[in-house]
Structure formats: structure tokens, C-alpha cells
Amino acid sequence: MVEAKTIQSSLMQTYNRFPITVAKGKGSYVWDTDGCRFLDFTAGIATCNLGHVPQAVKEAVSSQLEELWHCSNLYHIDAQEKLAALLTEYSCLDQVFFCNSGAEANEAAIKLVRLFSTERSNIVTFRQSFHGRTMATLSATGQGKIQTGFAPLLKGFTYFPYNDRVSLARLKVEQPAAVMLELVQGEGGVIPAEQDWIDELVQICTDLQILLVIDEVQTGMGRTGSLFAYQQYGLEPDIITLAKGLGSGFPIGAMLAKKRIAQAFQPGSHGSTFGGNPLAATAGLATVTELVHSPVIQNGAEKSMLLITYLKQLKQEFPQIKTIRGRGLLIGMEVADVPAGEIVQAAIQEKLLILTAGPSVIRLLPPLTITEDDILLFIKKFRSVLTHVFS
């Protein structure tokens, strides 16, 4: 047996890891290698939306493991076709390209925009956005800290202020090929887009034939209370990107587009060895089937209201909590006086996993399957974390 220490020292230090080795998960809980149980309000950062090891996905993947693991995209893959059909049935998009991650889904979207828009190539994105870590997607990301040291960045991105109606006038001057945005900026601090701003943005895009690309990597798959966040804003995107919750933890990403745009991709335009392979597509198919045919998204929306009610009570007790915001079970809490990271560290002592979103925001991402009892336990643990940190 190789010891965990040896394994860790051989890894590139791209993450500030917490001192826990997670060995097992079920529903809203994970266990470490010592058998210690943690209440997990991170869901693998909005990935295990059905909870850890959901039965339906486990059964589907287990039976696929007996049949076929991988097959090139040069052949038809039944689960991939079925998953694409389901995603297009439950969205306003017509065709799907499968890949392995959120960054790759956004890469595919950027390539499709460029191929489709022969006369324009610029893409407007927003400050504090996050679109991934590949060269194109970090160039699209409106955060200097993600880009530092990686120059030269890919050309063709302009960053506008988020939720700012005044600057939208500049869109008419710029006339970009596309606008790409998250409807709740996740990594950037859990900032929901304001409806008025979105309405104006969409109107300009429609008038000037600017493509609307919605990055649903974090907001998608039921996370915000509907299958996709765009469905709550009364808009029809031209392109959306998915990953995270699409495979319940099995790596899969997708880029969906309207047919007239998708047709710009011809054989040879784009590809991926693993994208939507039989195992990944099976995990995706079982996940989306569960999301659309069970009451899990409804449960998430209801439990969001309950959780926010309790969080508001905590806000009364702890004035250091400045704001509570978000949509569905993508919830952010702005805190003062201590860095959010310190609260996350203290939560580990209480056997509670939570996240930050920037230096002063606590981010909560429980699974959509969360129960009332789990929420009550969370509040009990979180209250004791805040008492400890703020005393």
C-alpha cells in the first residue's frame, strides 16, 4: 500500500487541499478514511446534485460496465443519442456536442461562435465571471487572478461590468459576435443576474443578432430550482454549456445550440476522444432521467426556501452576515470581520463541508435531495461554527 502522504507529495500543487481524504459518500454525507462522517454542503462543487452515489445512476453505470466502456465517436453510441434527445426535449436547444468538462464545453461554444459568425469574432463576457482554466476559457474569464502569468491570452474577449445597465449601450457600438454569461456568477461570489438587466441585454442581442451563450456549468441540472437557470429568466439562449451535475460525478460536459448555429460544425470541425463515451453518456442519461422524471428539482426548490428562512434567522443572530443571496440551492452569504476561508476551516472541526466564493462569501451547495433533517443539522453545526469564529 502506498501511503496517502507519498501520493500527495507527487501531485502538482494546484489546489489548497483540506486535510481530509474522502473515501466514501452517500446522499448528503461523506466519510473520511478514519470513518468520520461529514455533512456535505458542497456536493463536489455543484456536481453531485442527486447526492452521493445515487441509486439509479449507480445501477445504470454498473450494468454499462459489463457491456462496453469506451467506443470512438466514429461510431454511434446509443446512450449518447438518447441523452442528446432528452436534453433537447427539455431545453430550447436542438443539437448537442459532448465533451468531458465545463471548460471544454465553453471551448466548444467559443469555437462554434467563431465558426458561425464569419464577419465578427469578438465575445463579450463579464467581470467576476468564471468560464474555465484552458487558455480560451481563462481568456474569457473576467478575473485577473485566474489570468495572471498566462499571457499572451487569446484575443477577442471584452469584459463588461455585470448587472450594469448603463454599460449595455457600449454593446451596440461593439457589436460582438456573442455575449457569454452565467445567470448566477458562481465562483465570482454567487451573484444572480438582475431581471431588468437581462431583459435589456437580451433585447440588444436580438436586435443586433448577437449570439447569447449561457454558461450553465454551475447553474444547470436543477441547481437553481429549474433544470436550467435560463428557464427562470424568460429568455431563449442560442447556446448553453453544461458539465458538473450532468453526470452525477462521472466526467461529462455538453454544449447545446440552436440548429441553425450548430450546423456550422461539420465533420472535422471539433471532436473529443472521450466526449460522451458509453460510460459517461450512461451516467448522464440516468442523471437527466432522474432530474426530469422525479420530484428532485422541486425538492431542491422547496428546501432552498427552508434553508434561506433558517439562514435569515442566523443573520439576525450574527450581524457579521451581511447578505444572503442566490437561486435555488446555489446560495451565497457575504460575511464581514473574518475571511470566509476561516469559516470554512472552522466548519471542518464541526464535520461540515462548505465552500467560499471569493474572499468574503460563503457558498452553500447541498444536493437537491437534501432533507429537512439535514438542513436542521446544518443550521446546528453552522451556528456553532459562527459562534466559535465570531466570539
Ligand X SMILES: Cc1ncc(COP(=O)(O)O)c(C=O)c1O
Pairing label, strands 184-185, 191-192: antiparallel
78 is in an annotated binding site: no
Peptide bond into 19 cis (omega under 30): no
> Which residue, 321 or 364, has its beta carbon nearer to ligand X?
364
Using CB atoms within 10 Å of the CB of residue 225, give its burial: 0 to 12 exposed, 13 to 18 middle, 19+ buried.
buried
Give me the least distance between CB of 195 and ligand X, in Å please.
20
Residue whose C-alpha cell reads 474572499 in the numeric block: 359
Looking only at residues 173 through 192 of this chain, which bind ligand X when binding is defined by CB under 6 A? 182, 186-187
217 is in an annotated binding site: yes
Closest CA to 212 of 193, 227, 225: 193
> Which residue, 132 or 189, has its beta carbon nearer to ligand X?
132
Give me the least distance between CB of 67 and ligand X, in Å please.
27
Looking only at residues 231 through 250 of this chain, which bind ligand X when binding is defined by CB under 6 A? 243
128 binds ligand X (CB under 6 A): no
Site string for ligand X, 193-222 (x = CB under 6 A): ----------------------x-xx----
Give me the least distance between CB of 98 and ligand X, in Å please.
13
Contact residues for 126 (Cβ-Cβ < 8 A; gap 6+): 142, 159, 160, 161, 162, 181, 182, 185
218 is in an annotated binding site: yes
273 is in an annotated binding site: yes
49 binds ligand X (CB under 6 A): no
Would you say the C-alpha torsion 231, 233, 237, 243 has a positive or negative sign? negative
Q: At CA 357, angle to CA 385 and CA 128, rounded to 5?
A: 160
Give me the least distance between CB of 66 and ligand X, in Å please.
28
Decide: 282 and 64 in contact? Cβ < 8 Å: yes
Give me the least distance between CB of 187 and ligand X, in Å please.
5
102 binds ligand X (CB under 6 A): yes
| Region of 95-103, 203-211, 305-313, 357-365 interacting with ligand X (CB under 6 A) | 95-103
Q: At CA 8, angle to CA 5 and CA 12, rounded to 5?
A: 155
85 is in an annotated binding site: no
What Å distances lie between residue 369 and 20, 50, 110, 196, CA to CA? Answer: 24, 6, 33, 32
Decide: 280 and 249 in contact? Cβ < 8 Å: no
| Region of 97-105, 157-165, 228-236, 293-301 interacting with ligand X (CB under 6 A) | 97-105
Report which DSSP code applies to 228. S
Decide: 81 and 88 in contact? Cβ < 8 Å: no
Q: Which residue is nearest to ligand X (CB)?
A: 102
Question: Which listed residue (130, 233, 318, 382) binds ligand X by CB under 6 A?
Answer: 130
136: alpha, beta or left? (left if phi > 0; alpha if psi -120 to 50): alpha
> Which residue, 51 or 251, has its beta carbon nearer to ligand X?
251
What Å distances lie between residue 68 and 75, 87, 106, 144, 253, CA to CA? Answer: 13, 23, 28, 43, 20
Give me the least distance between CB of 129 and ligand X, in Å please.
8
> Which residue, 11 or 166, has its beta carbon nearer to ligand X?
11
290 binds ligand X (CB under 6 A): no
Which residues share a beta bridge with 334? 323, 361
| Region of 108-116, 126-134, 332-340, 364-372 interacting with ligand X (CB under 6 A) | 126-134
What Å distances lie between residue 367 and 233, 272, 329, 386, CA to CA? Answer: 23, 29, 8, 22
43 binds ligand X (CB under 6 A): no
* # residues near ligand X by CB under 6 A: 14
**Which residues of the shown chain bind ligand X in the complex (CB under 6 A)?**
101-103, 106, 130-132, 182, 186-187, 215, 217-218, 243
Q: Which residues are annotated as a binding site for N(2)-acetyl-L-ornithine?
A: 133, 272
Q: Which residues are annotated as a binding site?
A: 102-103, 130, 133, 215-218, 272-273
Q: Which residues are annotated as a binding site for pyridoxal 5'-phosphate?
A: 102-103, 130, 215-218, 273
